[in-house]
Amino acid sequence: MGDRKQAGDQEFQAFVIGRWPRLMRTAFLLAGEQHAAEDLVQSTLERVYVAWRRVGAADDPEAYVRRVLINTHARRHRRKLREFLAPKDDSGIAPEVPDTGDRIAQAEDRGVLLQALAQLPPRQRQAVVLRYWEDLTETQTAEAMGCSVGAVKSNAAKGIAKLRGIPELTDMATYGGRK
């Protein structure tokens, strides 16, 4: 029994090490603050660890963990009426290192994008982040959000439409982030 538990712990540890940056990025985009994102990922991983035998045996453990992350965030959001995507004092926060080839992460003015995301309602923000930042399919996004593909399409379309209406983002897209 001990060997099986140890093997499961090692498998869980390898999963966490491999997925930590992506989980943190998604959590940051959903929660808006570095510390809140870290708490969200930790809470998610606590829940997942308890059920790791079932999660590790799933067809797509990453999708399962993503769903737990979204549900944990939704529960917190229901209790907390307001979230902020821009910390009041970011002097002590280590900057996120962009993935190679992640053009959004390499944009000069990510603050504008984060403030724009903060203006979206939670479901639209989730749909936009999962579809366009995490590059999930509509089906994967629907599974992560616990809704239909139609709801994902609707929320993503409404979110993108709102983002297109923000002049600062339009300027960034038009002028490549430079004026």
Q: What pLDDT shows up at residue 166?
A: 84
Give tens-digit pLDDT for 38-75.
999 999 999 999 999 888 888 888 989 999 999 898 88
Closest alpha carbon to 112 in 179, 46, 47: 179
Dihedral-angle region of residue 139 (phi above 0 means left; psi in -120 to 50 means alpha; beta otherwise): alpha
Beta-carbon contacts of 93 under 8 Å, excluding residues fewer than 6 positions away, are 34, 87
> Scanning the structure block, which residue is given the tokens 């297109």?
164
Kindly report whether the global pTM for this prediction surpasses the value 0.75.
no
Beta-carbon contacts of 48 under 8 Å, excluding residues fewer than 6 positions away, are 12, 55, 64, 65, 68
Percent of the chain clearing pLDDT 90 (strictly above): 39
Average pLDDT over residues 10-34: 90
